[in-house]
Structure 1
Amino acid sequence: MAKTNEFHNDDVVLDIHDRPTLGHWIGLSIQHMFAMFGSTVLVPILVGLNPGIALFSSGVGTLIYILITKGKIPAYMGSSFSFIVPMVALMKTTGYPGIAQGTVAVGLVYLIVALIVSFVGSEWINKILPPIVVGPIVMVIGLSLAGTAATDATMRTLTSGSTTYDWRYFAVAMITLLVTIGFNMYLKGFISLIPILLGIVVGYVVAVLFGIVDFSGVMAASWFSLPKFQVPFLTYRFHFYWGAVLSLAPIAFVTMTEHTGHIMVLNKLTKRNFFEDPGLNHTLAGDGTASLIAGFVGGPPVTSYGENIGVLAITKVHSVYVLAGAGMFAIIFSFIGKLSALIQSIPSPVIGGISFLLFGTIASNGLRVLIDEKVDFNIKRNLMIASAILVIGIGNAYLQLGQYQFSGLAVATVLGIVLNLVLPQKAASEKEFDDRKAK
């Protein structure tokens, strides 16, 4: 093991700067890759992006993140679910170019905030994004996609382009959902960390038995294939999409809270303070640069992954070399053409079944934020903020200004931030009641 002269955590198998032997290194890195694999490739599948590009950008993003954070934080950067809602809408209107520009904008927001944090600190982030704003927004991210999950789980697209209800789709979706729930509840050890991946595999096999899988794309794909990168000026004629930028950029403030939460967990896990060293400005810059790179190659925005933090906690292997290895394996896998084709052949009811659980879990996490922080809904201010965010976001009350469209989630995020800043802590009627009670 290679060790440094700084603090060393002797309570773990491998600390941050400990280097495993080659054999262990490969096994541990592949384990991390599989932990993130299901979620990272599910995002592009839901949106309609190329899974190979998502794998490539997550791997490169992880290596860049480790570099920018000076090799001090063991974290993996995977596709973010927080941006799915506007990306699905953008895929129908602008396609790859709009999503790419929005992803680049997300990265720039992170870098700007990182620059501000380096000068004035990070307390202001908590002021504009308290639990009463973050909780409902996270709930919107999950619940606004409920209709999409239900459609994937029930409706078959005909050759004419129309859709029809298919009981086989519903059966496959429900079987996929139930086995994934079972894997989550009853599996132990490393295999318990990949229930989504296992659920997709089982659902895929069931879909094959029901005769709803098309293998033509897999058969036609080559073993070695460059991901179909979407590089500005090279693969498409550049046109600036303001609507795409303004739909994705505000959500970066939401994922920053998730990012900060992951750093807090890693602080406790590794017995360090990453807010001080290398500093929140470096962690935000690493995350932002990773999204910038993803945008320039046609991938979705990325963020640190809780799945991989779970692997760190269970294995007690915190080596940053292992995470870097996982990033390299993700890059290698992105060039396997048949793998990308196999992923793209997963039928919609399998994705729908997984989405029932996944989107519900995201929404439940938003509810958990409100519960953990003991947000009091007897206070009118909290009720007003949450109500506005939930209905506007879930209903997708988008703003259309000429050719520019801002998703309901983006509108809800901005409105929630503004209401939190301008509304008084107590309504006039509440103050009046308190005054009477005091007398």
Structure 2
Amino acid sequence: MEEKNDIHFHNDDVVLDIHDRPAPFHWFGLSLQHLFTMFGATVLVPILVGINPSIALVSSGLGTLVYLTVTKGKIPAYLGSSFAFIAAMQMLMKTDGYPAIAQGALTTGVVYLIVSFVIKKIGTSWLDKVLPPIVVGPVIMVIGLGLASNAANNAMYNTSGNYDFKYVAVALLTLAVTIIFNMFLTGFLGLIPILLGIISGYFIALAFGIVNFQPVIDAPWFQLPAFEVMFVQYQPKLYLNAITTMAPIAFVTMTEHIGHLMVLNKLTKRNFFKDPGMDRTLMGDGLAQIVAGFVGGPPVTSYGENIGVLAITRVHSVFVIGGAAVFAIVLGFVGKLSALILSIPGPVISGISFVLFGVIAASGLKILVENNTNFDKKKNLLITSSILVIGIGGLVFEAGTFTLSAMALSTLIGIFLNLVLPDR
């Protein structure tokens, strides 16, 4: 059998292999499909944080092109806005504003680069000791459940801060239609239930009279995104709390990165840990995060939704992924689209968030189940309980200007407990 990472290897069991270029018309449709698949989640992150969604579209496209370049066009992965950093970015936006988020995004990218250099020198075995499933699973659960109260509050209280039944009704109806779309739609529509949920929720909100459509009418068709370019719009100072809050989360998203590579290995019949190598895949992800932060977007990460598209369509072409990245960049300059996204009411986003944040938490539980975690073992029980209560409870460690968010603190405590507690 041919070496699966040999340059001449071609997977004949798929419609288009990694380096196959589709016909122009097919190329357009296939890339558009990936764009729709990542669109809902990619713009939802900046909406929740308070960043212009058009910047997130551009930064995700740029980040994906950087990733494809660094990995030598060998891995068909799309990078979109990361959900793991939402709570940290929301906190930083309230305390220090966008420059702190940009510095945090740059820091996470640097962490990726450092780890990629370490892996190139000594391999990957140490990662399993630092981030085993008993730590990663609960931390991912914290990422989802730690945001639950924000979603609930946005679903209950209007812009005046008062409880509003209409808001609750819109949120629950949006949740209901999104669940129905997830459960019963098939084919291409089955790949975009979140996007369809947002669209349906928007029409529901219109019916309840809580949408202000005037900004969409007033917006121009072409508009330069409100980039927050570092060293141009502002001169960043050192935000130590941004670094200590976001840097530890990078180790959590690395586990997601590794998991996605494992799935792609199986789909494409290749070994990306060997070629182009995990050092390059992490370097590509890290540089993509740095580029995203530099232009004003949230940190980016590989998207499981787009991997699902690869699996269903059996189209693995990096040209299709690159086409989706170009579409995302172009779309970021459409002014009316940005205004339309910004006009989505809070309860619609909350209805979607009930699903997305819950899915994030459930995926953490799935990691524990799939690895047959034994909770009769005191070590596992203590690690999990400490991470969950500290992370979800919102315990923050502050010492002067030094701050650790609940998510970062729970991650570090989980890593520490796993390393020091005896197995018996």
Note if 1:120 corresponds to 2:118: no
Note if 1:293 corresponds to 2:291: yes
Q: How far apart are the structure 2 equivalents of 1:419 and 1:56? A: 40
Q: Give the equivalent residue in structure 2 for 1:433.
A: none
Q: 1:204 touches 1:347 (CA, 8 Å); kept in 2?
A: yes
Q: Write the letter of the residue equivalent to 1:379.
A: K
Counterpart mapping for 1:211-290 below 5 A: 211-290=209-288
Q: How far apart are the structure 2 equivalents of 1:294 and 1:398? A: 27
Please report how far the alpha carbon of residue 298 of structure 1 lies from its aligned counterpart in structure 2 after TM superposition.
1.1
Q: Give the equivalent residue in structure 1 for 2:52.
A: 50
Higher Cα Rg: structure 1 or 2?
1
Note if 1:76 corresponds to 2:74: no
Q: How far apart are the structure 1 equivalents of 2:156 and 2:93? A: 22
The range that moved more, 225-234 or 249-258, is 225-234
Identity, % of aligned pairs?
Answer: 63
Q: How far apart are the structure 1 equivalents of 2:195 and 2:312? A: 18
Counterpart mapping for 1:6-45 below 5 A: 6-45=8-47
Please report how far the alpha carbon of residue 220 of structure 1 lies from its aligned counterpart in structure 2 after TM superposition.
2.4
TM-score (norm 1): 0.94
Q: How far apart are the structure 2 equivalents of 1:218 and 1:397? A: 40
Please report how far the alpha carbon of residue 5 of structure 1 lies from its aligned counterpart in structure 2 after TM superposition.
5.7
| Secondary structure, counterpart of 1:156 in structure 2 | coil
Q: How far apart are the structure 2 equivalents of 1:238 and 1:184? A: 42
Q: How far apart are the structure 2 equivalents of 1:194 and 1:404? A: 41
Q: How far apart are the structure 2 equivalents of 1:147 and 1:415? A: 23
Q: 1:275-321 CA deviation, whole Å, 9 max, x = no partner?
A: 00000001000100000001111111110000000000000000000
Note if 1:361 corresponds to 2:359: yes
Q: How far apart are the structure 2 equivalents of 1:294 and 1:226? A: 16
| Secondary structure, counterpart of 2:85 in structure 1 | helix
Q: 1:159-215 CA deviation, whole Å, 9 max, x = no partner?
A: xxxx10100001100110000000000000011010000000000001011110112
Q: How far apart are the structure 2 equivalents of 1:73 and 1:232? A: 29
Counterpart mapping for 1:357-436 below 5 A: 357-426=355-424
The range that moved more, 283-292 or 220-229, is 220-229
TM-score (norm 2): 0.98
Q: Give the equivalent residue in structure 2 for 1:430.
A: none
Q: 1:17 touches 1:319 (CA, 8 Å); kept in 2?
A: yes
Q: How far apart are the structure 2 equivalents of 1:11 and 1:37? A: 29
Q: 1:103 touches 1:301 (CA, 8 Å); kept in 2?
A: yes
Q: Give the equivalent residue in structure 1 for 2:3.
A: none
Please report how far the alpha carbon of residue 217 of structure 1 lies from its aligned counterpart in structure 2 after TM superposition.
2.0
| Secondary structure, counterpart of 1:78 in structure 2 | strand
Q: 2:138 touches 2:387 (CA, 8 Å); kept in 1?
A: yes
Q: How far apart are the structure 2 equivalents of 1:205 and 1:123? A: 50
Out of 313, 320, 329, the residue aligned to residue 331 of structure 1 is: 329
Q: Give the equivalent residue in structure 2 for 1:308.
A: 306
* Total equivalences in the alignment: 419
Q: How far apart are the structure 2 equivalents of 1:354 and 1:112? A: 35
Q: 1:344-395 CA deviation, whole Å, 9 max, x = no partner?
A: 1100000010111111111011111100001111111111111111011001
Q: 1:208-245 CA deviation, whole Å, 9 max, x = no partner?
A: 11110112321222111111111223112422101011
Q: How far apart are the structure 1 equivalents of 2:98 and 2:408? A: 19
Q: Write the letter of the residue equivalent to 2:357.
A: F
Out of 183, 186, 206, the residue aligned to residue 184 of structure 2 is: 186
Q: How far apart are the structure 1 equivalents of 2:238 and 2:340? A: 33
Q: Write the letter of the residue equivalent to 1:90.
A: L
Q: How far apart are the structure 2 equivalents of 1:196 and 1:255? A: 22
Q: Give the equivalent residue in structure 2 for 1:130.
A: 132
Q: Write the letter of the residue equivalent to 1:256.
A: M
Q: Give the equivalent residue in structure 1 for 2:343.
A: 345
Q: Write the letter of the residue equivalent to 1:387.
A: S
Q: 1:80 touches 1:301 (CA, 8 Å); kept in 2?
A: yes
| Secondary structure, counterpart of 1:157 in structure 2 | coil
With over 3 angstroms needed to count, the CA separation of the structure-2 counterparts of 1:5 and 1:390, relative to structure 1, is closer
Please report how far the alpha carbon of residue 408 of structure 1 lies from its aligned counterpart in structure 2 after TM superposition.
0.3
Q: 1:266 touches 1:309 (CA, 8 Å); kept in 2?
A: yes
Q: 2:103 touches 2:236 (CA, 8 Å); kept in 1?
A: no
Q: Write the letter of the residue equivalent to 1:398.
A: V
Note if 1:141 corresponds to 2:143: yes
Q: Give the equivalent residue in structure 1 for 2:157.
A: 155
Query: Which 5+ residue runs of structure 2 have no aligned equivalent?
Result: 1-5
The range that moved more, 5-14 or 99-108, is 5-14
Q: How far apart are the structure 2 equivalents of 1:93 and 1:5? A: 50
Q: How far apart are the structure 1 equivalents of 2:403 and 2:162? A: 30
Q: 1:52-78 CA deviation, whole Å, 9 max, x = no partner?
A: 111001000001100000000000000
Q: How far apart are the structure 1 equivalents of 2:227 and 2:54? A: 9
| Secondary structure, counterpart of 1:400 in structure 2 | strand
Q: How far apart are the structure 2 equivalents of 1:354 and 1:42? A: 9
Q: Give the equivalent residue in structure 1 for 2:163.
A: 165
| Secondary structure, counterpart of 1:405 in structure 2 | strand
Q: 1:241 touches 1:404 (CA, 8 Å); kept in 2?
A: no
Q: 1:66-124 CA deviation, whole Å, 9 max, x = no partner?
A: 00000000000000000111111111011110100000000000000000001111111
Q: Stretches of 4+ moved more than 4 A in 1?
A: none
Query: Which 5+ residue runs of structure 1 have no aligned equivalent?
Result: 427-439
Please report how far the alpha carbon of residue 147 of structure 1 lies from its aligned counterpart in structure 2 after TM superposition.
0.5
